[in-house]
Amino acid sequence: MSVPALFKGRLSIPVIGSPMFIASTPELVIAQCKAGIVGSFPALNARPKEVLEDWLKRIAGELGEYAAKHPDKPVAPFAVNQIAHHSNDRLMHDVEVCVKHKVPMFITSLKAPAEVVQAAHSYGGIVMHDVINVRHARKAIEAGVDGLILVCAGAGGHAGTHSPFALVSEVRRFFKGPIALSGAISNGAQVLAAQAMGADFAYIGTRFLATTEASVVPEYKQMLIDSAAADIVYTSLFSGVHANYLKKSVAASGMDPENLPEADKSKMNFGTEGSSHKKVWRDIWSAGQGTGTIDGVLPVADLVARMRREYDAARAALAAGVAADQAAE
């Protein structure tokens, strides 16, 4: 396992905040990076496309000023998510803008992104790619990505069905580069568990929806607090790709979450209404199975600080347990 130089000395805890449609805006990204975790946003959140350059200038500018004033605090790099799919007619425009501003990291989704890799490597940027199985992981590696994000069962948004124990173990047999693990991770102890399993980072989205800086309506945040793993439905209906959503938001849109038809994969569409008259992400709210651990809305800084305490406590408890076992032998 190897951690890219980009991250060294810049993280307070090994966490990458996942890019979330609508929710991830400069406010959330900047707060995450200031707290010492990687903040990210989908390029498609910046609308119209001309806004993307404004966002990049603001994020880089504010983080640079903060780092200069607080040299003793780790300020994490940020990332931009690019959807490598034919329905995204903005892809090349958005990549070109990111190259112009030398975005530190790309997070790519769907197709193995050879063209994005080439663009990022032209100035020293890195690319981590979302995968849900070994076949996709191999294709991404062949395309030259620097790292993999294993999106396992229970993750919010477009998620896979594999157990993280199975997928991390299989991928580690042929890939020694950086891995981020996604799937119902909500606290610091689970971040440590991801590392123990063989990942380098935890990849967390749902928990950051219930933060002050997340750009979602209060009703969405409250629904996260009021829901548990049993309140999540896994369906391809809304975007053409299987994803996890809050059942209560599906019901509020007039549909039965227990009887949803399958979508036509040829009509995949991201950030629009997909195969429904209701708009996915705006009306149909995504969340992972970790929603059952959300007990309130916090500022990002407070949430990350709590995760760090949980992480340290879990590590100390494990060390104490090992020491006790050894003493008893």
DSSP for 185-254 reads --SHHHHHHHHHHT-SEEEE-HHHHTBTTS-S-HHHHHHHHH--GGGEEEESTTTSS-EEEEHHHHHHTT
The reported pTM is 0.92
Please give the sequence-ordered ranges of beta strands (E in DSSP) within 52-164, or none if there are none. Answer: 78-84, 105-110, 126-131, 147-151, 157-158
- The domains located in the chain, with CATH, are 5-216 (3.20.20.70), 218-289 (no CATH)
Q: pLDDT tens across 79-132, in order?
A: 999 998 777 889 999 999 999 999 999 999 988 789 999 999 999 999 999 999
| Cα–Cα distance for residue pair 286/155, rounded to 1 Å | 10
For range 313-318, the mean pLDDT: 93
Q: pLDDT tens across 21-73, in order?
A: 999 999 999 999 999 999 999 999 999 999 999 999 999 999 999 999 999 99
Longest alpha-carbon distance in the chain: 65
| Cα–Cα distance for residue pair 181/16, rounded to 1 Å | 9
Give the range among 186-200, 250-264, 303-317 with minimum mean pLDDT.
250-264
pLDDT, greater one: 202 or 9: 202
pLDDT, residue 271, reads 43
> CA-CA distances (angstroms) from residue 168 to 39, 248, 314?
23, 32, 21
pLDDT at 140 over 60: yes
Dihedral sign computed on CA atoms, order 233, 234, 238, 243: positive
pLDDT, residue 238, reads 86
pLDDT, residue 265, reads 60
